[in-house]
Structure 1
């Protein structure tokens, strides 16, 4: 028996990176997974690798029409949605005084508006199944800020606020909403030569003295997606090896 048997999950930004890690684990645990991503080539290839219990649906997460289409296609393929992981996101390293408004708007659309739209349009589908779990992926930047992260920090704090609102709005429908706040994770970006030095300096501030492996984050997402967390809604879980403690 898998921990997600008979569950239908939608994961955004799932063609690569952390989203792909979540999707792989969900498949292992018995879920049917929609790989939702803007990168059609990578998404289709990855969904094929995952097997018959996975399918790719292209989406611009900032588009209402695309979200409506995704819900319709998911129900046609697998039935009503039980799990939504709002994982898609982008980063930007500019200060308040340097960032241009267009860049700021793009950041908010992809990182924050997408969370609102995802929850809004998946909600009716989850009601059909009488239960649901939404996992919103924020960031340590949703807890505190560092220099030159103006737009990113704004967007991740917005994810935190949207999660709190949805907890109150969706509770009566037996839909749980939780947020996670990951620290530094080992991905292709962290392995690049131009980021290795910065990562090494960051590790010195992490009490566990290492960065996270992708599956360590996915295991937390899995817990919130599964019935094991059936009475948890509104939780904010930092998963950072203790890094936030270093910042007080």
Structure 2
């Protein structure tokens, strides 16, 4: 497939990310002009100037109820481009991200994800990154903090973005696995290490695993979201889906 015009929509859910979102938007601004057709920030009610900063960087801002899945669905609905790149607001892209994404878009339609890189020192975090790479290779199971690149028709076949306040990434990946091989872009996507530093790798992994178990047993995502965000604030970096 030859890309003759900008065919990529970038959608970023954000809530009080004034300190991190401008860095991601600066990374996106390095893309050639014929790649990104639409750049949308779906704001969940920020009080720190996040929407204003997003507009200054050239993004379209749409407003939504808070909740990553709800915000992503709202942002996706505001776009029309045939390819979607879904990113968390605290992410940082690698220098050659646009070339990597463009190559993936020229391949037969499939879902793609970056490799997790955590912006913090520590051997435990490096081991965690390795474990996530192995999980993705063996189980085809990346999560939302790794970014997700996919063609819009594939997302539609998967039922669209689940409008959940938590676990939306895990549910979407499970649906996509039935339709497409989920491939690695083989480049890092860096995320803020604040949550792992605050709770430790083992503490974060244990708590995230407990949330996933509760969800699989039928616990309401609204209740789990209150438990998750209540302790760490609305803009915590590591999602409950992000540890092996």
Structure 2 length normalisation: TM-score?
0.37
Give 1 or 2: higher helix fraction.
1
Give 1 or 2: higher strand fraction.
2
Structure 1 length normalisation: TM-score?
0.37
Find the structure with the greater CA-based Rg: 1
Question: Greater RCO between the two (CA within 8 Å, min separation 6)?
Answer: 2
